[in-house]
Every structure is written in structure tokens, then in C-alpha cells.
Homo-oligomer: A and B are copies of this chain.
Amino acid sequence: MLSQGFRKPLVAVSLTALLTGCQATPNAELRGTGDLGVVVERATGSLAVVDTSEHRLLARVEGLGDLSHASVKFSRDARYAFVFGRDGGLSRVDLLTGTITHRVMQSGNSIGGAISQDGSLVAVANYEPGGVRLFDSETLEPVANIPATYRDEAGQEQRSKVVGLVDAPGNRFVYSLFEADAIHVVNMSGKTPEVTRFTDIGEAPYDALIGPNGRHYIAGLFGEDGLVLLDLWHLEDGVQRILPDYGRGEARLPVYKMPHLEGWAMAGGEAWLPAVGRHEVLVADTDNWSLTGRISVHGQPIFVMRRPDERQVWVNFAHPNNDVVQVIDTERREVVATLSPGEAVMHMEFTPRGEQVWISARDSDRVVIYDTRTLEEVARLPSESPSGIFFTDRAHRIGL
């Protein structure tokens, strides 16, 4: 079943127009925002605004700059998407009007961002110049600039790239410093940023995740095997090492793409994670971080995403095996289906209660939607080089 373009006439109205008269702005509609989402269209630097109830494209927002590796967060009212471009551009997009309300070039090179627990602040992780910048989420006015400084072996002050930035309860942000081998926690609940620094955590943290209740921050290391865990309920305990064998291992396997840590699935006391360089998904007990399972899969896994009811995890893969998605039954711990949505599968996003999943197939220029119970295709939408897919229910979840 094909579903594309606009199925209904769009009602045109903007807030400003209403206050000043009766003029219409394209692509605005009085509607709920709980079933909206966006698809990042990398090649064209655009964002497709989509409706997950009717499987339709509502608007295409252009002029967002370099969207390679772009990510998106949502305002707490689920009306605005904050788009973090690779070129340092930070844009605030109104999903209802399909327009950019604010846009700032806030650095030379950035790698994602986060929204504070109370929704008031947007934080951006920057490579160049290395640090975190904070903005008012309504105006994108700058609020704070926190350079990621450290002293190198010669005692010289340097700046580090920032990676793995997430929000945490208590209006905090947590992030890692690639060159500084450090994790910083910024508390924004007072008038000025209060930074707590953890140093010598391990060589070259390259990405991180935070668990669904916002307690555990886990960073991956590029320079060595193993991972680093910081318990945000007990900063006084410092960082600890977990899963010491996690990484490329002694064999130094060819790794086509380092898996994202945000692609881990935390489900029912277990973490499902992509092995680095191996055709395996790993299962670890999150109480003691022992490995409890290895599941053979089609390629080097990139994202391992749990279906919201935790009965399945869905996996995509690195080049050259990136034209399939596999479905693992979490109870039987085995692959139960292999699907072929198209070429170069980049991302997967479940609808909030998990009845469907949207999958981007970049080189086939489409997004394919599956019923997660029957595993049948429900619809597909044309999209130019789609990559990340993000739905507005993320506005309500810690760390997303």
C-alpha cells in the first residue's frame, strides 16, 4: 500500500496571521502534536514533518544546513523540533506551521544536543570549538557557554571535542570529552552552571547513553576495550568500568562503523547491545554487567532498538550488510525475521506504544512502515536520502 503526499486538504493558518487578520500560511493546522514526527533528509538538508496516524507527509522544511549525522530533540509541548546540524547550525522548527522559527550558527562543527528536564534549555555538543553551549528554548538566545578545557601532558590548556551529551534529571546535562578522557556533569538548576568533572576515565570516550530512568550514564571508549559507567545518584563514587571485553578486542577486527551507544536497548534488567566489529548482538545483565548472551546476526549491528513492549529488539547493520533489518525475540533470544526495507537502512523509530516501526532506507529514498506484530509492510513514504527518524513522544522521555 502506497501512501504519499497530502491526503487531506491542509488548513492554513498561523498564530501571527490570526492575531493580525485572516491571512493564511501554508502548512498550518489546528491539530494535536502527539502523533507527529520528523525524518532527517540528509542530501537536501531538509526535514520531513510526518503524521504517524495517517502515514503522511505534512510538510518539508528546508534550509537547515548540513544534516549529515544530524539529530533532533523536541520541546516539552511537542510543537517544536530542535535540529542539531553537523555544521554547527541549531534550528527550531515549528511542526504545526512547517517553518523555521529561529536559527543560529552556534559553532563550526557540532554533534548533537539535549533538552533540559524542565524544557527551558537546549544544550549543544560542539567539536569546534570544543564545548557545550546552552540556549533558551523559546528564543535560542545564548544562556551559557562552557568550554571543554583540559590540560595536556605538557600542562597546556586545550579544548576537547564533546560527545555523548544527554539530559539527566535535576536539570543536569552529562557529556564526555574525547581528547580529555573525561566526563562532565553540568547542573543547571541554580543561577549559573555548576560543573563536576571526572578525569582519567579511560581513553577517548566517543559516545554515550543514559538509561531510561536517567540514573546511569555509560560511555564507550575508542582507545581501549570496556565501557565507563557513572551513577548519577552517586557522583561521589566516581566512574566504574563495566564490560571490560566490550570493544574491538585483541584481534582488532575491521570495524565499518562504530556502533552508536544510543542504539542500545535497555529492557527488563538487560541491555541489548551491538558487538563492535562482530556479527553479534550481545546481552548483558544490568545488575552486575556480566554478558549473558550472544546472538548471531546478519552483519555488524549499528542500532539495537527495543520495541516498547520489550518483546522484540530490531537491529540494523553497517555497510555492506545494510540492506536488511533483523527482528530478535527477546525471550527466545533468536532472530525471528529478516526484512528488506531497501538500500542503506539508517535508522528505526517505533511508534510510542510500539504497534508500528518506521525505517529509513537512505539509498532507496524511502521510509518504510511495518506492523510490528505481523511484520508486514503497512505503508511507504518517498523521502530524499532519509536518515534519522524522531517522533514527538521523545519530548516526554528522560534522556531522549
Contacts and interface: CB of A to CB of B under 8 A. Distances in A.
A77 B311 contact: no
Interface string A229-271: 0000100000000000000000000000000000000011100
A213 B310 contact: yes
A78 B77 contact: no
A373 B331 CA distance: 37
Interface in A298-343: 308-311, 331
A11 B52 CA distance: 27
B96 A77 contact: no
A32 B74 CA distance: 11
A53 B119 contact: yes
Interface in A169-200: 169-171, 189
Interface in A343-400: 352-356, 373, 392-393, 395-398
A35 B77 contact: yes
A75 interface: yes
Contacts of A22: 22
24 contacts: A13-B30, A15-B29, A28-B30, A31-B77, A31-B96, A32-B33, A32-B95, A33-B77, A33-B78, A34-B76, A34-B78, A35-B76, A53-B77, A76-B352, A118-B356, A169-B308, A169-B309, A213-B268, A213-B308, A215-B309, A353-B396, A353-B397, A354-B398, A393-B393
A352 B115 CA distance: 13
A9 to B, nearest CB: 8
Contacts of A170: 373
Contacts of A52: 76
A354 B74 contact: no
A154 interface: no
A46 interface: no
A13 B30 CA distance: 8
A80 B353 CA distance: 17
A373 B267 CA distance: 27
B396 A213 contact: no
A160 interface: no
A109 interface: no
A372 B28 CA distance: 36
Given A33-B77, A353-B398, 6 more contacts: A11-B18, A18-B30, A34-B34, A34-B395, A53-B76, A169-B311
A311 B233 contact: yes
A171 B351 CA distance: 14
A214 interface: yes
A251 B376 CA distance: 56
